[in-house]
Structure 1
Amino acid sequence: MHDPDRAGFLTALAAARGQLVLAAGVITGTDIDLVGAILALARARPGSSV
């Protein structure tokens, strides 16, 4: 069974990870919970099954 919410989450996560890699060394001294932030937004969507 295909899960569009999960596919959307994984796509967003991959894109965010790529941006984070590109930004390596730009942000210092900051804790970033990127996966947690994306997951919280995905779960907040009505009808989300993530």
Structure 2
Amino acid sequence: YDPKEMQLRHRNIAERAVRESRITARERQQIIKLFNESMNGYTYYERED
């Protein structure tokens, strides 16, 4: 998969949801931020010391 393409598609879906009044602009920002952080994050379990 292409992370940049997934982020773009996710953003487009969120923006459409705002236009359709299904979520607020603030919710869109939070959703996009969390999604992007998860895409850029480490995917393997790390033990906290």
Length-normalised TM-score, structure 2: 0.52
Greater mean alpha carbon deviation, residues 30-39 or residues 10-19? 30-39
1:19 alignment partner in structure 2: 17
Q: Unmatched 5+ residue regions in structure 2?
A: 44-49
Deviation at 1:13, TM superposition (A): 0.6
Please say which structure displays the higher CA radius of gyration: 2
> Greater helix percent: which structure?
2
Q: Which consecutive segments of 4 or more residues in structure 1 shift more than 3 A?
A: none
Alignment equivalent of 1:43, drawn from 31, 34, 40: 40
Give ranges in structure 1 of 5+ residues lacking alignment: none
1:3-48 per-position Cα deviation (integer Å, ceiling 9, x unaligned): 7010011001101110011117x75xx84424323322322363xx
Per the alignment, residue 6 of structure 1 pairs with 4
Taking only the aligned residue pairs, the percentage that are identical comes to: 5
